[in-house]
């Protein structure tokens, strides 16, 4: 049985779900947030230590302003209402990505990180304004300026995921088989699961099925 420390998820399909059900992409995002809460609970049950969620990419700024504003208002409300509950459950929140938001949102994100920084049950890495290519270029630049040699270990010190083990599992919902500039370095040896379901339809049963499958995979890491 493979050990499982880290699950990363590309939560795709909210917009299509919203259009299909209620004729509004934003309602899909709202429904998607309920699934996030379910998967957090389930991750704790499985004793998963790291859950990385792709909530907003560097490319998502191309979306209509109304949708962007809605997504950030959802995030704001979620943090304001739920951070104490997350803290009680010993969940640590860490943002990966570039915190270039409004002053208020930046403060809320930093305060939420600070409040939960000592928690040990589950670390949620919320990828916000995150893009892997940008992360890699920034890390290269920083390593070049440093006194360290170009090695994998030294390079990883400059990634936004430093001190976080690489994902064992990458899940992408929404019936699309691409990586969308997400954790390109870190998923080198992840087991990848593409799910047909749209994110708001994904549930704990689907999550558990993936984990059961993962546990039985023979992971070679290049060996035989
Ligand atoms: C991708 O679906 C989803 C996003 C860009 C946002 C993800 C956000 C949530 C799940 C809810 C908010 C989460 C938090 C933690 C506050 P899409 O809109 O690209 O779907 P589509 O492919 O059908 O258009």
Query: Of 12, 166, 168, 201, which one is the catalytic site residue?
Result: 12
Residue pair 39/54 in contact (Cβ under 8 Å)? The answer is no
Q: Which CATH superfamily is domain 6-216 in?
A: Decaprenyl diphosphate synthase-like (3.40.1180.10)
- Which residue among 9, 10, 11, 62 has the greatest number of ligand 1 atoms within 8 angstroms of its CB, and so is best to mutate? 11
pLDDT of residue 222: 81
* CA atoms of 77 and 64, how far apart (whole Å): 20
State which residues of the chain have pLDDT below 70: none
- Kind and range of the H or E run holding 195: none
Ligand 1 center–CA 76 separation, angstroms: 15
pLDDT digits (tens, 9 = 90+) for 18-36: 999 978 999 999 999 999 9
Nearest CA owner, ligand 1 atom 6: 55
Q: Where exactly are the structural domains of the chain?
A: 6-216
pLDDT digits (tens, 9 = 90+) for 150-159: 999 999 999 9
- Kind and range of the H or E run holding 179: none
Could you confirm whether 12 is annotated as catalytic? Answer: yes
**Given its phi and psi angles, is residue 7 left (phi above 0), alpha (psi -120 to 50 degrees) or beta?**
beta
């Amino acid at each position: 049985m493979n050990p499982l420390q880290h699950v990363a998820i590309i939560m795709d399909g909210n917009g299509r779900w919203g259009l299909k059900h209620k004729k509004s992409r934003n309602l899909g995002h709202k429904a998607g947030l309920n699934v996030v809460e379910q998967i957090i609970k389930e991750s704790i049950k499985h004793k998963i230590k790291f859950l990385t969620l792709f909530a907003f990419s560097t490319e998502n700024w191309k979306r209509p302003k109304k949708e962007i504003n809605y997504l950030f208002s959802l995030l704001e409300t979620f943090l304001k209402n739920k951070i104490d509950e997350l803290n009680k459950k010993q969940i640590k929140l860490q943002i990966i990505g570039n915190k270039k938001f409004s002053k208020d949102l930046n403060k809320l994100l930093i305060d939420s990180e600070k409040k939960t920084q000592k928690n040990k049950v589950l670390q949620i890495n919320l990828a916000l304004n995150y893009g892997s290519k940008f992360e890699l270029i920034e890390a290269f630049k920083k390593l070049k300026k440093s006194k360290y040699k170009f090695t994998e270990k030294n390079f990883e010190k400059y990634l936004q995921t430093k001190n976080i083990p690489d994902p064992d599992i990458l899940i992408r919902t929404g019936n699309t088989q691409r990586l969308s500039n997400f954790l390109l370095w870190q998923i080198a040896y992840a087991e990848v699961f593409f799910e047909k379901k749209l994110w708001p339809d994904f549930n704990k049963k689907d999550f558990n099925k993936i984990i059961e499958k993962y546990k039985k995979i023979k992971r070679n890491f290049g060996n035989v």
